[in-house]
Amino acid sequence: MSATQSVYLEEEGVYRFHMEHPVPAYLVALVAGDLKPADIGPRSRVWAEPCLLPTATSKLSGVVEQWLSAAERLYGPYMWGRYDIVFLPPSFPIVAMENPCLTFIISSILESDEFLVIDVIHEVAHSWFGNAVTNATWEEMWLSEGLATYAQRRITTETYGAAFTCLETAFRLDALHRQMRLLGEDSPVSKLQVKLEPGACSHQACAWDPVDATHPSGLLPCLWLAQAGLSPHEGVNPSHLMNLFTYEKGYCFVYYLSQLCGDPQRFDDFLRAYVEKYKFTSVVAQDLLDSFLNFFPELKEQSVDCRAGLEFERWLNATGPPLAEPDLSQGSSLTRPVEALFQLWTAEPLDQAAASASAVDISKWRTFQTALFLDRLLDGSPLPQEVVMSLSKCYSSLLDSMNAEIRIRWLQIVVRNDYYPDLHRVRRFLESQMSRMYTIPLYEDLCTGALKSFALEVFYQTQGRLHPNLRRTIQQILSQGLGPSAEASTEPNAELARAGAEAGSDSAALLLGDEAPSSAISLRDVNVSA
Ligand SMILES: [Zn+2]
């Protein structure tokens, strides 16, 4: 349990847990299963199913203590006693969750080393930003996520250097801009301070008017919405907050603040004082910004909060991309080869010999380099068929031997380009991956394109092994875009339509079901740690 003390009373068969600090309800978490512990540091152990324990231990032994110590040097003492990690089965619906004393993390991430490192460090950073000082309202979730992402990158800079940190940041900011293109610059989720939709209904095909009537479920009083002066379309569904704006636009704002004070170490000192002042309480953005201006009186005097075009108010309330982005030139030794290779493969006409010759050594690249390269190819898809053929010849077997974060991207390229010779790899991947983070994006792509019947076939073969919530989401993806006549015409489709209707009773599974398909895809596509 996410608790500072736990005792097992053997005679009674009872576990007792105690949390000595006040924490918000969302950080109370309990896990039960066939879990065995192994020490990985003086105050850390991993818990995992016995078959996973050796891998988990070997990947994290010693390093977690390194990350905790780096964080302590930056932001002050770790205040939760133990920092343990529990690995959960692939069906765990999110990548990782920062429950105090016991980070929850999905075991699927174990094979992708660099992602594992970043995800755990992010959760370590939440021990200060999120768990100790918490956002008072979900409408300002960026306070936890933006600050934790900033702290995570300070820790990786201290531990692995600026180049690696800039690479990882470039990779994520690329994803942020992708999400922006899909949603449009005026999307309400792109604000840091979002307005939640207090009464909106996530039931598919529900005609409930929140201003007018009580919801059929008896929940969610409509008056609230009317009093708040909101129309049903102005607000944001809380399920949509785990988007890249909350994380990366939030990060950019915090980074901008650090630039204003001119010295990242002075900014660390400020954050340390901020944690000390507000620990074990909940805050709003104004608390952070007031503290910032009070800590740097010279900046307050210069009215940095009102600089034209970069007003704090605009950072918080404008839709669209970040008003300023970090300088990532220190990562160029790692990002430049990616850009060069991408240029070669997308040159018109394709210089086959040059492109193939340069295929050399991506096997020595960092995972984030390869992922960035593949993401850019994905953005450019569909690609000319000859390019896809050559790419497949150069990379397909090589990428197949790499980790899942890389394989999923290559397979999405295969699907978005309808490249049938590599389709057997997609099937094999979907037969072995049972986690949401890897199955959903592939099913989305399969169903958007011409491969829906292939998707149906794979789904029928694997559905028995999927978590019920994931199964319902995939059923919903498979049934999207089926008109009434399509639903009636063939049996499997009718069955899917029924399954979709059943899913309506489970709002967690529905998640984004009432969105337009494009925004549903773009938000569901993003895998973030909490
Ligand atoms: Zn987080």
Mapped onto helix, strand or coil, the DSSP state of residue 249 is helix
Above pLDDT 90, what percent of the chain? Answer: 73
CA of 92: how far to CAs of 85, 186, 235, 299, 468, in Å?
14, 32, 28, 45, 11
Tokens representing residue 380 in the block? 């450019």
Report residues near ion ligand 1: CB below 5 Å. 145, 148
For residue range 393-417, what is the model confidence (pLDDT) as tens digits?
Answer: 999 999 999 999 999 999 999 999 9
Nearest by Cα to 136 from 283, 19, 28: 283
For residue range 241-282, what is the model confidence (pLDDT) as tens digits?
Answer: 888 999 999 999 999 999 999 999 999 999 999 999 999 999
- Banded pLDDT at 220 (limits 50, 70, 90): very low
Catalytic residue among 98, 114, 123, 168: 123
CA of residue 416 to ligand 1 center, whole Å: 30
Rg (CA), the chain: 24
For residue range 132-153, what is the model confidence (pLDDT) as tens digits?
Answer: 999 999 999 999 999 999 999 9
User: For the sheet containing 84-88, what is the strand order?
Assistant: 36-41, 44-48, 84-88, 102-106, 96-97
CA of residue 423 to ligand 1 center, whole Å: 35
Average pLDDT over residues 461-487: 79
Q: Which residue type is seen at 17?
A: F
Q: Which residue type is seen at 166?
A: C
CA of 450: how far to CAs of 123, 390, 444, 455, 497, in Å?
39, 22, 11, 10, 19
Catalytic residue check, 123: yes
Q: What is the pTM of this model?
A: 0.85
> Does residue 385 carry a pLDDT above 50?
yes
Mean pLDDT of the chain: 85
pLDDT at 4: 92
For residue range 492-507, what is the model confidence (pLDDT) as tens digits?
Answer: 333 333 233 322 322 2
CA of residue 392 to ligand 1 center, whole Å: 35
For residue range 155-182, what is the model confidence (pLDDT) as tens digits?
Answer: 999 999 999 999 999 999 999 999 999 8
pLDDT at 359: 66
DSSP β-ladder status, 96-97 and 102-106:
antiparallel
pLDDT at 341: 93
pLDDT at 26: 95
> Does residue 525 carry a pLDDT above 70?
no
